[in-house]
Structure 1
Amino acid sequence: MTLYLDNCVFNRPFDDQKQIRIKIESLAKLYIQDKIKKSGYKLIWSDILEFENDNNPHKERTQAIEKWKNIATIYVPLTADIQDYANDITKYGIKPKDALHVASSISTNADYFITTDDGLLKKINKSGKIIALNPIDFLQVIQNDSEHN
């Protein structure tokens, strides 16, 4: 299974954990990362992930997230084709940087795009380009797969 996690997901454990949804999404994200390390799930990393992470003003977050670049098995450089595809994706109301994430994930035939951004989830799923889920919903996919295998 090939996964693209956007920066919202990578940063979720650094958000205010007093909010129950954020705490549960953080736990789900950590579980997904454990599956990537131990179960052969493939993680996609991209130039846009690197750009956003490098521009994070919180250096401890940047360093923690940057480690996932080395764990990723697929790397998506920012090419003219990715940029063109991202421009096309913006017609669904997706912001340009988010569209670069989506285009990067689609270019590698990712099985799932994981984000905690509700607005982005709705727009991606409305586009029909890729299945987008929040980390909690993705855990249900994992559970269903394990029950049917």
Structure 2
Amino acid sequence: MIYLDVCCLNRPFDDQTQERIRLESEAVLSILSGCEAGKWYLVASEAIDYEVSVTPDPERKEKVGAFADLAMKE
């Protein structure tokens, strides 16, 4: 099981001009891909649901919410 906080879920949508941010984004996307493939399970939390719900940018909110939707819900 893997837990990614909202900062991680947002990373692929940050400015990718800095190498560190680009590498972190690639890592997050790789983890999410593994979760989609059933290799790992992404764990959800109420904190993630809340933080995504208060994201001010509607486009980013939708994209990050799609990532969060990959998580296992109990």
**TM-score scaled by length of structure 2:** 0.89
Residue by residue, what CA displacement relative to the aligned partner does 1:49-86 show, whole Å, maximum 9, x if unpaired?
011111111111111121234321244xxxxxxxxxxx
Q: Distance in 2 between matches of 1:40 and 1:74?
A: 17
Corresponding position of 2:32: 33
Q: Shift in Å at residue 19 of structure 1? A: 0.5
Does structure 2 conserve the Cα–Cα contact (< 8 Å) formed by 1:13 and 1:26?
A: yes
Q: Distance in 2 between matches of 1:69 and 1:18?
A: 25
Q: Distance in 1 between matches of 2:46 and 2:63?
A: 17
What RMSD in Å do the two structures reach over aligned CA positions? Answer: 1.3
Corresponding position of 2:42: 43
Corresponding position of 2:11: 12
Runs of 4+ in 1 over 3 A off after TM superposition: none
- The answer for unaligned runs of 5 or more in structure 1 is 76-149
Larger Rg: 1
- Specify which structure has the higher proportion of helix: 1
Corresponding position of 2:55: 56
Q: Distance in 2 between matches of 1:24 and 1:16?
A: 12
Structure of greater relative contact order (alpha carbons < 8 Å, 6+ residues apart) = 2
* Alignment partner of 1:70 is 2:69: yes
Q: Distance in 1 between matches of 2:38 and 2:72?
A: 13
Corresponding position of 1:80: none
- Specify which structure has the higher proportion of strand: 1
